[in-house]
């Protein structure tokens, strides 16, 4: 059995690769989370609509993204959607780091589908009379949902949203299959060049663990703060 040897990190650009890969992973995660959460709020509002066509389209969107593997969704956007775009668009996207753009789109849409269900569960846990009371005070349906229902639903939904955030963070590694140079991609590149398989992936594992614990800590802090705010408003 060969002893562990991390000295290879000082023999090439590997530290810089790891830093850049880690930053790209975090950037992809944050961008996908923000886009996904914003879209989830829109989906929740639309699924509460009285227009059946809109409701059914949202159900189909959520059903697709919850039942098709995330890797297939990334392939669909990168290899499928990109081929039906006008040539001028394809050139522009490829010149602007197209693989990262399509990974961002796929992860954002997937996240939106799951988060919308978490938020809807939070809404269903609230007394239905709250919406009726808000409407009785003169608020429109959209205003009632935005100002009264959604803030409470978000507070109730923090634990499942944190779990979904962890899932999204880990899913960023899927972007490596289309050439996004995130943490897993650069780790594999380092392993290919140095043959230090255990050491390379040990570093990657520590990175993913540290960021995951940070996400859980921030989620716990946010949950406590929202609970304190809710209790103070009573």
* 8 in a structural domain: no
* 10 in a structural domain: no
Q: Residue 179: which CATH number? A: 1.10.3720.10
Mean pLDDT for 74-82 is: 93
Model pTM above 0.75: yes
Residue 230: name the closest of 1, 39, 169, 222 by CA: 222
* 1 in a structural domain: no
* 123 in a structural domain: yes
Residue 153 has which token pair?
A: 């639903």
Q: Which of 88-102, 158-172, 212-226 has the highest mean pLDDT?
A: 158-172
Predicted confidence at residue 205, as pLDDT, reads 97
Mean pLDDT for 203-225 is: 94
Percentage of the chain modeled with pLDDT above 90? 60
- pLDDT at 93 > cutoff 60: yes
- Cα angle at 205 between 201 and 208, to 5 degrees? 135
* 128 in a structural domain: yes
Predicted confidence at residue 18, as pLDDT, reads 96
User: How far is Cα 117 from Cα 112, in angstroms, rounded to an integer?
Assistant: 9
pLDDT tens readout for residues 62-76: 999 999 999 999 999
User: How far is Cα 183 from Cα 207, in angstroms, rounded to an integer?
Assistant: 9
* 9 in a structural domain: no
- pLDDT at 1 > cutoff 70: no
pLDDT tens readout for residues 144-192: 877 888 788 888 899 999 999 999 999 999 999 999 999 999 999 999 9
Q: Please check whether residue 119 is in contact with residue 158, taking contact to mean a CB–CB distance below 8 angstroms.
A: no
Which residues form the domain of 149? 15-233
Number of structural domains found in the chain: 1
* 60 in a structural domain: yes
* Summary mean pLDDT of the chain: 90
- pLDDT at 233 > cutoff 60: no
* 195 in a structural domain: yes
What band does 231 get if pLDDT is binned at 50, 70 and 90?
A: low
- pLDDT at 234 > cutoff 60: no
């Amino acid at each position: 059995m060969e002893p562990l040897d991390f000295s290879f990190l000082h023999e090439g650009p590997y530290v810089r690769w790891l830093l850049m890969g880690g930053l790209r992973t975090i950037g992809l995660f944050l961008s996908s989370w923000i886009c996904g959460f914003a879209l989830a709020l829109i989906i929740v509002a639309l699924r509460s609509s009285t227009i059946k066509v809109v409701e059914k389209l949202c159900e189909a969107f959520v059903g697709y993204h919850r039942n098709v593997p995330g890797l297939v969704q990334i392939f669909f956007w990168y290899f499928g959607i990109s081929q039906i775009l006008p040539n001028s668009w394809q050139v522009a996207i490829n010149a602007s780091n197209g693989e990262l753009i399509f990974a961002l789109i796929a992860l954002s849409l997937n996240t939106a589908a799951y988060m919308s269900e978490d938020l809807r569960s939070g809404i269903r846990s609230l007394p239905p009379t709250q919406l009726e009371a808000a409407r009785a005070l003169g608020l429109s349906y959209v205003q009632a949902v935005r100002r009264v229902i959604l803030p409470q639903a978000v507070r109730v939904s923090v634990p499942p949203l944190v779990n979904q955030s962890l899932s999204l963070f880990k899913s960023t590694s899927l972007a490596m299959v289309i050439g996004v140079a995130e943490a897993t991609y650069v780790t594999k590149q380092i392993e290919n060049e140095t043959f230090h398989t255990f050491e390379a992936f040990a570093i990657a594992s520590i990175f993913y663990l540290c960021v995951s614990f940070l996400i859980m800590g921030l989620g716990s802090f946010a949950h406590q703060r929202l609970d304190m705010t809710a209790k103070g408003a009573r």
